[in-house]
Structure 1
């Protein structure tokens, strides 16, 4: 059962110059009380939310008691991106979704942390959209994070990502069944032809099984997600760029003191591994504490939600408390 807490933010200045009079920031905490243990911030992906572990937790395989991110040892926090609708308060949805950027979301998350008297983070981790927010958080406060773990993501939106965001936006604004139809397109970005062909093998019972699978994904998302939320989360994906109004990537990244663990998926057709390998090679020239891990999977982008054993292998040394120096929040 979700146990949402709320932080009230007032007169928040958006990147585009507008002022948002009020933003409610909902979140959940897991494990140790705030202020008593190192803090791990988990950023959710496009259709995700703050329930990362426990009942209906979407990352139960990695987070919990005696798991890779052990809630016996850490305070784990997850914010809901404002407007994702998880609080079920209709008035908190955001209709002017193009006013917001990932830079705004990262600042909102930092404001939430400062409200909780958290000035440093042991780790910021997130997949896909959540990982992009993690990159921006590190760019905004380069000395306040010990471990930065962006998974299946990038520090910038490539032309390929921007193009697909446009297609999603067109579907969401023009389809008679926008959430379901947009989800059908998105699922083909999140998986691979090999994964789908291997799973369904052209089987059919009146209709092809792959068609049923896609239709069910669309229906399930429509039942739990709001249209305005989908529009906002999709739009955020194209606003990711830690060099915007800053200097070049190497200069910006050189200020980030965190250990950077880049995790990509070899078959990711959305945030492609080649981009992450290039990022790693550029970072190696200026940082010693940068590491690259690659999930090997047939499943594409969604492998970060499927290949838990590989992910746990990469993450376990980071979260092994025997290797963790004593850490106290400022």
Structure 2
């Protein structure tokens, strides 16, 4: 079940201060008496706090986390929070400004991955947890994992960045901007002040269609769709539709029903700005701060987060004498493999956290 915590204020990297910030979060499992068995899960671009979910609504990572699963909530207390700037409970552009009584819209300040982590830190402290056992996340969630390891190096024993990078690649920034322009060019965006209207649904839908192409692989699309048409009788008509087109349109419409376009824009910008070396003397200098043991997982054919980016970080950490484990997972799914390939990724995660289980107590005494 999603809960809420109010943070009085948070000062962002851009210098602005947000007041009365709500953070929506989900907890699963039991925090032991020593408060040493907590695992923080960080979500990706359009994710939310429901990583585990419940019987009625399965979570987006329920194949990885839950009772008896790879991250076992019978042993661990799992916390997932919706990111700052999101639209699933945590304060974001669609939230009401406490001073004006109106939605922020595009008056919402620019947020970074570091801002998201700062708010999560306040949540963790608010839950009475002095040190996390582990932090895990994929894609944009993995960006948060890296920032946690650099910003608060004493706050966790383990970090597990999956299908991610220490800095966003040029090609990912390029795709992000095409999606962004699709939203900004939609007249219904209205410079970000479209509430309580539906906003730029066409622009957001197109942005999602583009995103879905980058999340998967050409091999998967050939296997699932090939050149098959929805209606073979309609082949010479201008509006004849290939199955792949129908699939992408469906995915676009599906996102529009649950996500805010402004949040999409703000989170894309946060991803673009992601570089753990920014303002810290470079990536190597930033990584020197890391104290946690690291499990890095890259996925084959990941267009957005190439394996060599992860490998570069792994080699830097090893050269510094840090404890790091690296795995390359073959997948036809490409980037989205982190949300699908539980049989391949799950055992790696379980093995890593169980290897270091002595760092936390498995007492299940209630708080």
After TM superposition, the score normalised by the length of structure 2 is: 0.84
User: May I ask how many residue pairs the two structures share in their alignment?
Assistant: 326
List aligned pairs for 1:119-198, cutoff 5 A: 119-175=130-186, 177-198=202-223
SS across alignment from 2:129:
coil
Check whether the contact 2:166–2:276 (CA below 8 A) recurs between aligned residues.
Answer: yes
SS across alignment from 1:99:
coil
Structure 2 vs 1, CA of residues 94 and 193 (structure 1 numbering), >3 Å: closer, same or farther? farther
**360, 363, 366: which one aligns with 1:327:** 360
Structure 2 vs 1, CA of residues 205 and 327 (structure 1 numbering), >3 Å: closer, same or farther? closer
SS across alignment from 2:105:
coil
Question: What is the rounded CA distance, in whole Å, between the counterparts of 1:94 and 1:29 in structure 2?
Answer: 28
Question: What is the rounded CA distance, in whole Å, between the counterparts of 2:158 and 2:272 in structure 1?
Answer: 25
Point out the more displaced range, 92-101 or 36-45: 92-101
Is residue 50 of structure 1 aligned with residue 54 of structure 2?
Answer: no
List aligned pairs for 1:247-258, cutoff 5 A: 247-258=281-292
- Give 1:245 shift: 1.5
SS across alignment from 1:26:
strand
Paired position in structure 1 for 2:105: 95
- Give 1:243 shift: 1.3
Q: Give structure 1 regions of 4+ aligned residues with deviation exceeding 4 angstroms.
A: 34-37
**246, 254, 275: which one aligns with 1:220:** 254
- Give 1:261 shift: 0.9
Point out the more displaced range, 90-99 or 258-267: 90-99
Question: What is the rounded CA distance, in whole Å, between the counterparts of 2:109 and 2:178 in structure 1?
Answer: 15
Check whether the contact 1:169–1:235 (CA below 8 A) recurs between aligned residues.
Answer: no
- Give 1:230 shift: 1.3
Question: What is the rounded CA distance, in whole Å, between the counterparts of 1:4 and 1:210 in structure 2?
Answer: 35
Paired position in structure 2 for 1:28: 26
Paired position in structure 2 for 1:17: 15
Structure 2 vs 1, CA of residues 88 and 256 (structure 1 numbering), >3 Å: closer, same or farther? closer
Structure 2 vs 1, CA of residues 94 and 286 (structure 1 numbering), >3 Å: closer, same or farther? farther
SS across alignment from 2:257:
helix
Question: What is the rounded CA distance, in whole Å, between the counterparts of 1:164 and 1:49 in structure 2?
Answer: 22
List aligned pairs for 1:56-71, cutoff 5 A: 56-71=58-73
Structure 1 unaligned blocks of 5 or more: none
- Give 1:75 shift: 0.5
Structure 2 unaligned blocks of 5 or more: 97-102, 187-199, 232-240, 363-367
SS across alignment from 1:76:
strand
